[in-house]
Amino acid sequence: MKKKPGFRRNALFGHYGYYTEERMLLTELKMDLSLDFKIPDKELLNLEDSLNYETIYKLIQSEMKQPEALLENIAKRVLQTVKRFDSRVENCQLTPINKFNCGAIQNVALKFED
């Protein structure tokens, strides 16, 4: 049996952006993460039988603390970290949503799958 947990529109903060000035600011990035997770056929009685969502969120927060120029690199690191966290995770899908405060572009959403 597979379970498809997900995190929707989680607000995370980090120093990211293509320009040096952008990385100097603490910037909000919203992120959707969905997982395909194989669960045992038996009744789930312990947290160890499932995914610890709090730990996954903390792993993502940790990746966001690293300054980065491109969203693609953040997404790649997050996907790799989540898959390494638990071997029962079969597939990860991440969509970072970046909101711009000025200019013609209002939002950018990229979709990554591993």
CATH code at position 50: 3.30.1130.10
User: Which residue range(s) make up the domain with 62?
Assistant: 2-88
pLDDT for res 95:
83
Confirm whether 41 is domain-assigned.
yes
State the Cα–Cα distance between residues 8 and 29, nearest whole angstrom.
Answer: 12
Confirm whether 107 is domain-assigned.
no
Confirm whether 81 is domain-assigned.
yes
pLDDT for res 102:
57
pLDDT for res 67:
92
pLDDT for res 100:
61
pLDDT for res 62:
92
pLDDT for res 107:
66
Residues contacting residue 91 through CB under 8 Å, at least 6 positions apart: 35, 36, 113, 114
Q: Among 45, 36, 34, 37, which Cα is nearest to 10's?
A: 34
**Domains in the chain, number:** 1
Residues of the chain with pLDDT under 50: none
Planar angle of CA 7, 106, 17, nearest 5 degrees: 70
Confirm whether 113 is domain-assigned.
no
